[in-house]
Structure 1
């Protein structure tokens, strides 16, 4: 894997993952495609001095992205990774999961676990509360991921939004995994880690990882009625895996 020193390095490595996924027809490329779009938005924010401390935010973005990138390549190399990422990647080769589910399990691991860790790490030696305003700003960008999901998936199945309106169970399920809700938990976890002794740091992460892995179960096994709806959506998805990845990058 290439070394990561800048946000451009992150964008380029995500492109490598996208290209590899297209070539291998792997659904692992769905999350990478959407995540690259968000990273580009963060880069634009840094260039436009959107954050209070733009240099710190690039460092945070790199630490944050590296957790996903490391998890991806370690998974491909059969090296141990966090259980929440293991859970997310485990559905990659299973036919019945729709694009939305692949995205949500990735978002679950990355936002609910990785973001808090990255925020705590970038704040080492400083008061983490100094990061709070910029943390909220980066989460405003991350929250746009939800809208991107809806817009991009309309290319795969245009009737999805209607189904979500008709089916309250699925709608509630999606709301529970929205970035707007996840960001509050990520910040609380970041503050918890920042106030955790170094000797207990890994234990705190492992405890959180177990909790987030269980949360992924709501995506992977959402219940009988949502599962039937997802099966219907799955068989009506348009395009190959490669085409769907490309749709998410547009």
Structure 2
């Protein structure tokens, strides 16, 4: 996979399949996000095929550039190579026992949407008017939102009492939506526009600053406060099945 030059959305899906397979074989919690991301990518592919987007080829280009950042980050982490702070925090969480599946999904979204998506959007809009991309950019968030209830069902497979907890917490899926979708729509688009308007010699510094900010936001997921942390520990003790089984549940 490391030598693969990803150029199409089908190659993205193939690369994600390989990551998922590796995580299943190694009982690696990093596979939770990879399984969800595979679903998102398939939805994007379907959207392109159904002419959902203004510009299908441009959307495929965005998907490829966007996904490649995650795939390369995964490879870098596995090979002890440098990677963004945002992804370092996310992958480090995969080594811990107590985080629940939802936290693994959220921290992956934090790194990928709030950092990578803006970078990818700016990259494919180089020497073009980035405003022309906004409508399709926003549709990505619609696709992500459409998967929220599917994620709830998947988490209920991991732990059947999850639906009771969802009601008790006032809908955890709202937490998922609020954290990932709203920040993606507002913060990531704003960052994409600012990055696209930044001189090339200053872009790396701007990305680094954004990376630090996004990695700090991860604390909202890893340290959500005493009450939520206590509930999450209760959920974690109730999660059933191996890591591999949970990945399979999220993938299917």
State the TM-score, normalized to the length of structure 1: 0.95
2:123: which partner in 1?
121
**1-structure distance, mates of 2:71, 2:135:** 26
Summarize deviations over 1:161-183 as a string: whole Å, max 9, x none: 32233235967754541324432
Contact 1:17/1:32 (<8 A) preserved: yes
User: SS where residue 90 of structure 1 aligns?
Assistant: helix
**2-structure distance, mates of 1:175, 1:49:** 25
**2-structure distance, mates of 1:30, 1:12:** 16
Q: For residues 60 and 19 of structure 1, do their structure 2 counterparts lie closer, same or farther at Cα, with a shift above 3 Å needed?
A: same
Summarize deviations over 1:79-130 as a string: whole Å, max 9, x none: 0100000000001111111111011000000010100110000100100001
2:29: which partner in 1?
27
CA drift of 1:135 comes to: 0.8
Which of 156, 159, 174 is matched with 1:157 structurally? Answer: 159
Q: For residues 133 and 249 of structure 1, do their structure 2 counterparts lie closer, same or farther at Cα, with a shift above 3 Å needed?
A: same
**1-structure distance, mates of 2:147, 2:216:** 22
Can you give the 5+ residue segments of structure 1 that lack an aligned partner in the other structure?
none
CA drift of 1:246 comes to: 0.3
**2-structure distance, mates of 1:172, 1:217:** 18
Q: Does 1:244 align with 2:230?
A: no
Contact 1:170/1:226 (<8 A) preserved: no
Contact 2:113/2:180 (<8 A) preserved: no
> Cα RMSD (Å) of the superposition?
1.6
**1-structure distance, mates of 2:159, 2:42:** 25
Summarize deviations over 1:53-84 as a string: whole Å, max 9, x none: 10000000000000000000000000010000
**1-structure distance, mates of 2:183, 2:149:** 14
Contact 2:107/2:218 (<8 A) preserved: yes
Q: Does 1:198 align with 2:200?
A: yes
User: SS where residue 130 of structure 1 aligns?
Assistant: helix
Summarize deviations over 1:138-174 as a string: whole Å, max 9, x none: 2211222323321211111122232233235967754
1:65: which partner in 2?
67
Contact 2:195/2:206 (<8 A) preserved: yes
Q: For residues 173 and 140 of structure 1, do their structure 2 counterparts lie closer, same or farther at Cα, with a shift above 3 Å needed?
A: closer
User: SS where residue 3 of structure 1 aligns?
Assistant: coil
**2-structure distance, mates of 1:32, 1:175:** 18
Contact 1:124/1:194 (<8 A) preserved: yes
Moved more, 197-206 or 153-162: 153-162
Q: For residues 146 and 181 of structure 1, do their structure 2 counterparts lie closer, same or farther at Cα, with a shift above 3 Å needed?
A: farther
